Homo-oligomer: A and B are copies of this chain.
């Protein structure tokens, strides 16, 4: 076995180097999106392309495949859930995927997406889909070539989905979303038709960025990162990133007239950050050192943003200090009015501004359109009309122009097809995990009222975070909640919350 030990060490060393290169790219990207002088962008793009290319070359090298093959007996000799067996198993799956895609195609996808992104910015500014359409077509054509690299798939969309939610099939997402839609459409209609109105005008005021930052930092500190292991910085399009499990970078955006985006956005990104911060230190510098899928990741951002951050017990604790920090709008407001306002449901055009309930219909719409596009049933030119029709059907709103419709999201310009569904998968999973946590920690809400979140965070770390990518998303979910994805808890949560707020 000494030779196998050596081979395993060699594999780990190679993977650690590749991980370092990817994390370096992460730091450069974080830097670009937060603090980089604007004129540094052209060279930074080259640096990111180089890091991506070198990391990919090193990973898809035949030698990695030979090591993985040679290590089969080593893997078989270890427990399935050991770090070492998991590293070999997960890396083999990654390698099998990576080696199928020619470097030339990968480079062409990156270049095309880069140009498409520029065209999209312009098109959105002018609200003119025609400017973007040819670039989107190129991205889609390349996605078809990408799908062809995986010759044995049944549904081409499965390949796209797998990059973000490994081993989840289109059929399974469709089944889950159909069921979700069946519950959500009537619930949202009931709120609009029969609910007592919610007044959120009391949330408007004057919010200096420095004071927002201080307040938000106070909350995030309570959520419980290890000290000296995180940063919060302003940016235009908020995101979470990290250089190590002990160096988490979250970002947010401060608006003058409302604290909502910074408040809930920060808690959202903090959820992503807590997941990465909680990964076992033993997995550091390995490909297992990451949240297992975008869906599971989003379950944590949504859990901390919504299930914690929009809950009544949370605000029983924090509302007095919010009133003290911002007496201007909040001194005159009572907790109940505030609670109802931050949970208001109202169909709107823009996904990222949508409330907890309608958000999913934005996602389902995109998931359906993406499938039709990839199946060739929907020509790109017809996309705006299809978008607008479905917005009317699902949310009852009339899209005024493409900037508020089909052009609102960056994803398609970046070549991210198959990404959107993970947002709603995250919502669904967040409530499955929440029910388990609440059952395991009976005093959870009492703790929130005391500003105490450590028991929840520790439970999540133990149940989910520490595993990183050791298991598949489905295996991971099974371990945490004891079953597969299930819309039940989410529907129960929304129905109960909205029934109370809107007196349905």
Contacts and interface: CB of A to CB of B under 8 A. Distances in A.
Contact of A40 (B25, B54, B246): B246
A64 to B, nearest CB: 15
Contacts of A39: 226-229, 244, 246-247
Contacts of A194: none
A465 to B, nearest CB: 16
Interface string A23-39: 11101100100011111
A21 interface: yes
Interface in A371-413: none
A34 to B, nearest CB: 10
A486 interface: no
A356 interface: no
B231 A44 contact: no
16 contacts: A16-B46, A17-B53, A20-B51, A23-B43, A24-B25, A24-B28, A24-B50, A27-B28, A27-B31, A37-B231, A37-B247, A39-B226, A39-B229, A40-B244, A43-B247, A44-B244
Given A35-B231, A229-B37, A247-B37, A24 B43 contact: no
A42 interface: yes
A243 interface: yes
Interface in A204-239: 226-231
A285 interface: yes
A501 to B, nearest CB: 39
A20 B37 contact: no
B285 A37 contact: no
Interface in A227-266: 227-231, 243-248
A163 interface: no
A47 B51 CA distance: 12
Nearest to A249: B37
A27 B47 CA distance: 11
Question: Which residue among A53, A247, A284, A285 has the maximum number of chain B CB atoms within 10 Å of its CB?
Answer: A247
Contact of A37 (B35, B37, B43, B228): B228
Contacts of A27: 27-28, 31, 47
Contacts of A227: 39
| A interface bracket (residues with beta carbon within 8 Å of B) | 35 or more
A44 B285 contact: no
Contact of A21 (B44, B50, B244): B50
Copies of this protein in the complex: 2
Interface string A45-85: 01100110110000000000000000000000000000000
Contacts of A20: 46-47, 50-51
Nearest to A51: B24
Nearest to A25: B24
Given A28-B243, A35-B35, A40-B244, 12 more contacts: A16-B46, A21-B54, A24-B25, A24-B51, A27-B28, A27-B31, A36-B243, A37-B247, A40-B229, A40-B247, A43-B246, A44-B247
Contacts of A231: 35, 37
A50 B53 CA distance: 15
Interface string A145-167: 00000000000000000000000
A50 B54 CA distance: 12
Contacts of A247: 36-37, 39-40, 43-44
Contact of A17 (B28, B38, B54, B229): B54
Contacts of A17: 50, 53-54
Interface in A4-30: 16-17, 20-21, 23-25, 27-28
Q: Which 3 A-B pairs have CB atoms at the shortest separation, nearest pair first? A: A40-B247, A43-B244, A20-B50
A57 to B, nearest CB: 10
A468 to B, nearest CB: 14
A20 B245 CA distance: 25
B23 A243 contact: no
Given A43-B285, A44-B244, A230 B31 contact: no
Given A21-B50, A50-B21, A51-B20, A284 B40 contact: no
A235 to B, nearest CB: 14
Contacts of A245: 43
